[in-house]
Amino acid sequence: MNKEEQYMQAAIKLARKNLDGSNGGPFGAVVVKDDQVVGRGSNEVIKNNDPSAHAEVVAIRDACRTLNTYDLSGCIIFASCEPCPMCLGAVYWARIDKLYYAATKDDAAEAQFDDAFFYKELALDPPKRSMASSQLLREDAVKVFKEWIESGQADKIRY
């Protein structure tokens, strides 16, 4: 078994740990930097009453604690299942270099998880989505962005 397969086995083991359903769904992830596991996560939505506590997000937060940074450049993430849009977004924001995944979002859909449906929803313009959304007070919010740009912050910080 090569190194990548070993890390993926670790992610799948974290998924398997959740098979009793008390923590959340059967998903696991590990974050690796310089051949060291720096973050581990399994789904903790139910355990922590946190809908954002998917395995990848939990593993990313764990890695950030370990490395004391919000920037995981140079890291690789191994996920037992293709990340949902929320988790893939988190992987991008964390600036992770590479993603390995095992099961696909269609495999997850067979197990009744909504990942595939959410991908379709996010690709639509807001008015076409199943969730209602409306725009309100755009000018007031844009004013805040303008002040941000004028203060020079926009050039310094990107995350």
Instruction: Restricting to residues 20-59, name those near a copy of itself by CB under 8 A.
Output: 21, 24-26, 45-46, 49-52, 54, 57
DSSP state string for 83-95? PPHHHHHHHHHTT
Q: How far is the CB of 23 from a copy of itself (least distance, A)?
A: 11
- Is 131 in contact with 120 (CB distance < 8 Å)? no
- Is 15 in contact with 26 (CB distance < 8 Å)? yes
Cβ proximity to a copy of itself, 35 vs 136, nearer residue: 136
What Å distances lie between residue 50 and 13, 23, 86, CA to CA? 22, 11, 13
Nearest to 100 by CA among 122, 118, 75, 117: 75
| 73 makes contact with a copy of itself (CB under 8 A) | no
CA dihedral 72, 26, 24, 3 (to 10 degrees): -30
Positions annotated as catalytic residues are 56
The two beta strands, 75-81 and 36-42, are unpaired
Q: Which of 30, 34, 35, 68 binds a copy of itself (CB under 8 A)?
A: 68
Cβ proximity to a copy of itself, 70 vs 74, nearer residue: 70
| 128 makes contact with a copy of itself (CB under 8 A) | no
Q: How far is the CB of 37 from a copy of itself (least distance, A)?
A: 16
Q: How far is the CB of 18 from a copy of itself (least distance, A)?
A: 9
SS3 of residue 101 by DSSP: strand
- The interface with a copy of itself within residues 88-107 (CB under 8 A) comprises 88-104, 107
Q: How far is the CB of 34 from a copy of itself (least distance, A)?
A: 17
Cβ proximity to a copy of itself, 34 vs 143, nearer residue: 143
